[in-house]
């Protein structure tokens, strides 16, 4: 019996290249997301350095997402037709340019231009998801997409932490001594250049190690982006998923964009402390997506996992602004005040819900699409998510700037209620 189990544990020859390909694409996505994560802690303070309203923080985030919305379906379709590998390589090269310009921006319009280019290149997430679907059997896709989600979460661990490090005074001071006078060395430019370097490293890894997967190629007529959305919305299996991606993205991106200013205004924290909170969320995300998603999916199925994740996420985002009040019942821990400790205790529920929900939605999209249209299906749903991330940040930043600071979080929780209704319908089918 022991020998039988030992033999079953040995991967077959066909599994070895599949697992190797999966590992490489996860690494490429991780490097890309580290670059993205590096600029997160500095972004609100970068915008404030131009002496404009916090509303522009939301607009800058939205500029990224609107371009991702426009690019994701197109990149997904091109990857179906021309290949996953070239799309990933070219988009990473575009990110190198975008983050370099972001660091050199001497005016607000340059900041927006660079962020929009980065958003267009960030549409490659649909291609990465399609790549995972190409190299993974259907029964294992929720787990595989959870691992890809863990690479995202790892990016948000190392990215914000590195962003805080590169924005610190000692690093900036050293950079001023080393870099030519023509290159600005500030708490904003150095993290941006580091982000460009991470994307460049991703290009090298993809060129050296990432193979093009074996898969079915589409044989039908090419569709425009509008045509892709029409087809998806006409499909009962995809319609609810497209709407779910949109609403989840409005809620989560809006709450995320309000969270760092809320930390600053509630506790007086700066970019270094905000980076620690984002790193903490990233660590929790890795634990959930790499350690729990596969087990929960195998135990209750992708549909019920989506409902569980959506419920937990709705509760968490609503609870965040009220946590400091409840924190009065808690003791302070070292330099961490009781109110901040209460926030720390709420964030695991947020990571748990977000990790389960995103992996489950991705698995349901893959199951609902044909083998030759995985890139297009992920492109449309990611495009819907990007549209949500276009709407969410400026809307929530506006609510944060002009209403009570708790309003964006409560609105985010309410937006997840119809998502739960749509996901419960999947369970009943």
Q: How far apart are CA 61 and CA 361, in angstroms?
A: 23
* Gyration radius (Cα) of the chain, Å: 21
Confidence check: pLDDT of 191 > 90: yes
Residue 231 lies in a domain: yes
Contacts of residue 42, Cβ cutoff 8 Å, sequence gap at least 6: 163, 167, 187, 188, 191, 192, 271
Residue 188 lies in a domain: yes
pLDDT tens-digit series, residues 81-131: 888 889 999 999 999 999 999 999 989 999 999 999 998 998 787 788 888
Q: How far apart are CA 209 and CA 370, in angstroms?
A: 27
Comparing C-alpha atoms, which of 119, 135, 117 is closest to residue 210? 135
Angle at 159 between CA 400 and CA 345, to 5 degrees: 55
Question: How many whole angstroms from its chain centre is CA 82?
Answer: 25
**What pLDDT is attached to residue 214?**
72
Angle at 15 between CA 11 and CA 17, to 5 degrees: 120
Total of domains in the chain = 1
For range 412-417, the mean pLDDT = 94
Q: How far apart are CA 286 and CA 6, in angstroms?
A: 29
Q: How far apart are CA 157 and CA 38, in angstroms?
A: 9
Query: Residue 176 has which token pair?
Result: 């001023």
**What pLDDT is attached to residue 373?**
65
Residue 5 lies in a domain: no
Q: How confident is the model at residue 3 (pLDDT cuts 50, 70, 90)?
A: very low
**What pLDDT is attached to residue 217?**
60
Show the domain range for 421: 21-210+225-428
Asked if 134 contacts 215 with a C-beta cutoff of 8 angstroms, the reply is yes
Identify the residue with better confidence: 68 or 319: 319
pLDDT tens-digit series, residues 230-274: 666 666 777 888 888 899 989 998 888 888 888 888 888 876 777
Residue 216 lies in a domain: no
Q: How confident is the model at residue 12 (pLDDT cuts 50, 70, 90)?
A: very low
Q: What is the torsional sign of CA 244, 82, 97, 71?
A: negative
Residue 16 lies in a domain: no
Q: How far apart are CA 360 and CA 371, in angstroms?
A: 18
For range 51-75, the mean pLDDT = 82
Q: How far apart are CA 362 and CA 148, in angstroms?
A: 10
Residue 217 lies in a domain: no
Confidence check: pLDDT of 11 > 50: no
Residue 129 lies in a domain: yes
Q: How far apart are CA 223 and CA 252, in angstroms?
A: 30
Question: How many whole angstroms from its chain centre is CA 422?
Answer: 22
| pLDDT > 70: percent of the chain | 86
**What pLDDT is attached to residue 4?**
40
CATH number at residue 55: 1.20.1250.20
Query: Residue 216 has which token pair?
Result: 């079915």
């Amino acid at each position: 019996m022991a020998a039988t189990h030992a033999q079953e544990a040995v991967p077959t020859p066909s599994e070895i290249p599949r697992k190797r390909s999966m590992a490489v694409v996860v690494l490429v996505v991780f490097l890309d997301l580290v670059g993205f994560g590096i600029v997160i802690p500095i972004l609100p303070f970068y915008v404030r350095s131009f002496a404009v309203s916090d509303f522009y923080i939301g607009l800058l985030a939205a500029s990224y997402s609107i371009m991702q919305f426009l690019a994701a379906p197109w990149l997904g379709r091109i990857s179906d037709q021309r290949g996953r590998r070239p799309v990933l390589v070219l988009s990473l090269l575009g990110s190198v340019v975008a983050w370099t310009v972001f660091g050199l921006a001497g005016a607000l319009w340059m900041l927006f231009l660079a962020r929009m280019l980065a958003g267009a290149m960030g549409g490659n997430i649909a291609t990465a998801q399609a790549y995972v679907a190409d190299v993974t059997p259907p029964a294992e896709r929720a787990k595989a997409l959870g691992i890809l989600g863990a690479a995202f979460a790892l990016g948000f661990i190392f990215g914000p932490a590195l962003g805080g490090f590169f924005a610190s005074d000692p690093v900036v001071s050293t950079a001023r001594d080393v870099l030519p006078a023509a290159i600005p060395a500030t708490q904003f430019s150095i993290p941006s250049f580091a982000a460009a370097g991470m994307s460049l490293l991703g290009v090298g890894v993809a060129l050296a190690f990432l193979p093009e997967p074996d898969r079915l190629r589409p044989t039908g007529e090419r569709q425009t982006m509008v045509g892709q959305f029409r087809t998806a919305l006409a499909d009962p299996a995809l319609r609810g998923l497209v709407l779910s991606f949109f609403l989840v993205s409005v809620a989560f991106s809006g709450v995320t964009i309000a969270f760092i200013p809320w930390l600053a205004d509630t506790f007086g924290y700066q970019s270094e402390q905000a980076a620690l909170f984002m790193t903490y969320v990233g660590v929790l995300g890795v634990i959930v997506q790499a350690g729990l998603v596969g087990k929960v999916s195998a135990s209750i199925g992708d549909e019920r996992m989506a409902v569980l994740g959506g419920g937990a996420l709705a509760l968490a985002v609503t609870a965040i602004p009220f946590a400091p009040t409840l924190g009065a019942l808690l003791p302070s821990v070292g330099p961490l005040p009781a109110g901040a400790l209460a926030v720390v205790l709420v964030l695991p529920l947020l990571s748990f819900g977000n990790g389960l929900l995103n992996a489950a939605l991705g698995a349901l999209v893959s199951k609902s699409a044909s083998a030759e249209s995985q890139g297009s299906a992920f492109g449309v749903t990611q495009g819907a998510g990007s549209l949500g991330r276009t709407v969410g940040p400026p809307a929530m930043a506006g609510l944060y700037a002009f209403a009570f600071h708790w309003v964006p979080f409560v609105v985010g929780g309410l937006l997840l209620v119809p998502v739960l209704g749509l996901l419960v319908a999947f369970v009943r089918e």
